[in-house]
Chains A and B, each alone.
Chain A
Amino acid sequence: MEQFLIDTFGDNILTYIIMPVPVLIFLSLFALGAVLAERKVSAYMQDRYGPNRVGKGILQTLADMIKLFQKEDITPAKADKLLYNLAPFIVFTATFMGYAVIPFCSLYIGADLNIGIFYFLAITSLSIVGILIAGWASNNKYSLFGAMRAVAQIISYEIPTALAILIVVMIAGTLSMQEIVELQGGGILNWFIFGGPGGATKYILLPFLFAAFMVLYISTLAETNRTPFDIPEAESELVAGFHTEYSGMKFAMFFFAEYGQMFAVSAIVATLFLGGWQSPFGELIPVLNTPVAQIIWFILKGCIFVFVQMWLRWTLPRLRVDQLMILCWKYLIPVSFINLFAVGLYIVL
C-alpha cells in the first residue's frame, strides 16, 4: 500500500496524508457501530430492547452524533483554556497513532516499523498525558480524581501488558507487527496462542501462552478504562471522571478515542495471539487468504474481542482501587514473570 502510493503520488506529503485515511474511515464507522452495538448488547443482556426508534435503532448513533455536533461548546470559566482544549486531541491523536502499526492485511499497514509493538506500547501510553491534562485543566475535583486514578491504573497495567507482549516477542523473535503475523500463517495451530510455528514440543508452552493471553487481555482492558476497570470514569462516584466538564464535540473526541482504543487493543491481542489477519484454515482454502478476506478476518477477530469487552462490562461490577492494584501487582505481574521465565527457558533449551 505504502509502496503503491509512493509510486503513484511520489514520495511526498500527499502520500502520507492519504495513507491513514482508510483507518480513519474505518475507525469512524467502527465507533458508530460499536456504540450502537454496546447499547444493544447491554440492553439485551438486561432484557431490554435498546435504541429502536431512529431508523429501527440503526441510525441512533448517527442521530447522537448530529446532536453532539450541535451542542454548545462549554469551557469552564476557571479552566486552563489552552490545556483544556488541547486534551481531547492529545488523547485521540495518541489512540489514532497506535493504529499506525496495526496490520489490517498483508498489504495494508500504516507503517511496518521494525519496533512496531514497542511503538504501540509507547504511543498509546501518551493518552495518559491527555487524560491527566484533561483532568487537571478542567479545574474540577471529579475530573482530577478521575485523571489521577486513570494515570495510576494505566501505568500499573502497562507492566503486565508489556510482559505479556514480551512473551510473544520472545517466541517470534521480532517486534515488527507484520512479521509477527506472517509467522503465524498456515492454520489455526500456528497461532501464538497455540505456541506459534514449531514442532510438537511447542505444546509445552500452551498453558503459559494461554496465561499470557489472559494477562494481556485483562491488562489491556484496564488500559482502555473499561468496566470492570473503569474507576477513572466511575459514573456512580465521579460523575464521568476526567471528561466531566467536556461537552459537545470535545466529549465526542474522548468517546471516539475510547472506542478507538477498544478496537486497537483488541486488534493487538488478535495480532499477537490469534494470528492477526491470517485465516484459521491456513492454505486449505486459498480464497480466504486474499487481502480482502484478510481484512475481514482481522476485523472479525478484533470485533470478537470488542464484544467480549462489552460482555464483561455488562457482567462485572467495578473493582475498588485497592482490588485493582492487588489484581495488577499480586496476580498479573507474578504470573507474567513466571510465564516469561518458562518461555525463556524453553527458548534457551
Chain B
Amino acid sequence: MRKYFKNIYLGFSTIWIGMMITLKHLLFYKNITIQYPEQRLQLPERERNRLYVNIDDCIGCDQCVRACPVNCIKIETIKAVPGDKVGKTGETSAGKKKALFVPKFTIDFAKCCYCELCVFPCPTVCIYMTDVFEFSEFQRNDLVYDFTDLTKEQAEEKRKKAEEWALEMQKKKEAAAKKPPEKKVPLKPETNDKNKSDESPDSKSDDKPSKDS
C-alpha cells in the first residue's frame, strides 16, 4: 500500500520535474539552430572545398593531373610558337615564361575527392582550394568545370599554328642535317601527339564509369 502511494507520488513528481525542464527550455533557453543560408558557421582553417584554377598562372605542366588519385583533372596543351604570347603577358605572375597553351583544363567535381593532392605539386600555385562548397547541379555534366581562357576557335588556331611550326621545324632540321633524317623526324610531332594520345584513351576510359555510376 505504501509502495502504491509512493508510485503515484513518484509518477507525479517526476513528470513535474520533466515538465519544468521542457518549460524552461520553451521560455528561457536560446535557440541554437543555425539558420543556414543566412547564417553560416566559420569554416575550419584547412577546409577542402571546390578547387579553383588561376589559368593565367598555369603553365600546363601536367603535375596536378599526375597527382590526382581519381583522374578528375584533364589537361591538353599546345606548344606556343615563338613570338606567340601565352595569355596576356606570356608570363606567370611570378615572372616565369609560359611555353604551353592550355586549351583544355577541366576538373570533374563529380569525381573529385577533395584530397588536395593536386595543390601541392603545382609549381606556380595556380590550383588551390576555395571556400565554396555549395555547387550542386541537376546534371552531372554541369559539374565538369572548364578553366581554360581559350575559346575553341582560338585553340584550333593555336593548334594549327603549332603544327605548322612543327612541320617547319622538321623541314628545317631535314634541311640542316640531311644525314640523320629518319630518327629525329618523327620525334617532334610525336611528342606533340603523345600528349594527346596519352590523354584521349585516358579520358575515354574515365568517361565510361562516370556515366555508369
Contacts and interface: CB of A to CB of B under 8 A. Distances in A.
A78 interface: no
B18 to A, nearest CB: 5
A47 B29 contact: yes
Q: Is the interface of B mostly helix, strand, loop or mixed?
A: helix
Given A44-B26, A45-B26, A315 B15 contact: yes
B8 A315 contact: no
Contacts of A281: none
B75 to A, nearest CB: 44
B13 interface: no
A315 B19 contact: yes
Contacts of A314: 22
Contacts of A311: 19, 22-23, 26
Contacts of A316: 15, 18
A227 B18 CA distance: 14
Give chain B's interface residue range (CB within 8 Å of chain A). Answer: 10 to 19
B19 A47 contact: no
Nearest to B16: A315
B25 A44 contact: yes
A216 B15 CA distance: 17
Given A48-B33, A331-B8, A315 B21 contact: yes
Contacts of B179: none
Interface string A278-304: 000000000000000000000000000
A330 B19 CA distance: 24
A315 B14 CA distance: 11
Give chain A's interface residue range (CB within 8 Å of chain B). Answer: 10 to 19
Interface in A309-349: 311-312, 314-316, 331, 335
Contacts of B22: 45, 311, 314-315
Contacts of A75: none
Interface in B11-54: 11, 15, 18-19, 21-23, 25-26, 29-33, 35
A315 B33 contact: no
B19 A41 contact: no
B23 A47 contact: no
Contacts of B26: 41, 44-45, 311
Contact of B19 (A43, A48, A312): A312
Contacts of B29: 47
B39 to A, nearest CB: 11
A16 to B, nearest CB: 43
Nearest to B18: A315
Most buried by A among B21, B26, B35: B26
A114 B169 CA distance: 113
B25 A46 contact: yes
Nearest to A331: B8
Given A44-B26, A331-B8, A49 B33 contact: yes
A44 B18 contact: no
B3 to A, nearest CB: 11
B183 to A, nearest CB: 73
Contacts of A41: 26
B2 to A, nearest CB: 15
A43 B31 CA distance: 9
A54 to B, nearest CB: 15
A335 B5 CA distance: 11
A332 to B, nearest CB: 10
A312 B33 CA distance: 23
27 contacts: A41-B26, A43-B31, A44-B25, A45-B22, A45-B25, A45-B26, A46-B25, A47-B25, A47-B29, A47-B30, A47-B32, A47-B33, A48-B31, A49-B33, A49-B35, A52-B35, A311-B22, A311-B23, A312-B19, A314-B22, A315-B15, A315-B19, A315-B21, A315-B22, A316-B18, A331-B7, A331-B11
Given A311-B19, A311-B22, 18 more contacts: A43-B31, A44-B25, A44-B26, A44-B31, A45-B25, A45-B26, A47-B25, A47-B30, A47-B31, A48-B33, A49-B31, A49-B35, A311-B23, A315-B15, A315-B18, A316-B15, A316-B18, A331-B11
